[in-house]
Amino acid sequence: METLSRICSDVAHTIHNGRKPSDEYAERVACLLKGTVAHESAGGQYRRQIGFTWGELRGAWGVAQLEAGSVGDSLKYIDNRPALEQSIKEYLAGNPIGCTLDLLYEMMPLELMQTIAINDRLAIIFCRLHYMRFPAPVPPTLDGQADYWKKYYNTHLGSGTPEQYKAHYAKYVS
């Protein structure tokens, strides 16, 4: 989880929509991303949701267990946000992932999700983009972040609980 934690911090400090976040706020975001990875993939152990195959689009993918609809919404969110697009391109230039943002737009959905599944940096970028789509600021406390994760990531439809999120944070991050 150490490498994943470092990626979460890098993404939190680098990916922004025109105004670089303060170090204090970026650290909050980094903790939220680390907690999401810790809970969703048991600290990075799973790259594909259990019960689904690599040849079907359904289910969740990568260390952040992203769904194709969320990734598609995140790609749409980047549109008409040139500062966000530029921050992603600059991040990818400094941390090559084997493809560019333009190439991600061109991929077929299954190919994109398979790429996210095997590329932790890309999965964490899309996790960050998912959270950026919501205007509420990331809370400063673990309790607040667990509730934030439940509301905006796992949602009322998911079976995860803030208590499980905090337990996984303690096990894999702390």
Closest CA to 165 of 67, 64, 50, 70: 64
Q: What is the rounded distance in angstroms from the CA atom of residue 107 to the CA atom of residue 29? A: 28
Instruction: Please report the pLDDT score of residue 55 as a whole number.
Output: 93
Burial 37-75 (b: 16+ CB within 10 A, else e): bbbbbebbebbbbeeeeeeeeebbbbbbbbbbebbeebb
Q: What is the rounded distance in angstroms from the CA atom of residue 130 to the CA atom of residue 143? A: 20
Instruction: Please report the pLDDT score of residue 98 as a whole number.
Output: 77
Instruction: Please report the pLDDT score of residue 103 as a whole number.
Output: 87
Instruction: Please report the pLDDT score of residue 24 as a whole number.
Output: 97
Q: Two tokens at 174?
A: 């702390």
Q: What is the rounded distance in angstroms from the CA atom of residue 97 to the CA atom of residue 127? A: 16
Contact 172, 43 (CB under 8 A): yes
| Radius of gyration, alpha carbons of the chain | 15
pTM for the predicted model, two decimal places: 0.94
Instruction: Please report the pLDDT score of residue 101 as a whole number.
Output: 87
Instruction: Please report the pLDDT score of residue 93 as a whole number.
Output: 85
Read off the DSSP letter of residue 139.
P
Which stretches of the chain score pLDDT less than 70? Answer: none
β partners of residue 66: 61
Instruction: Please report the pLDDT score of residue 42 as a whole number.
Output: 92
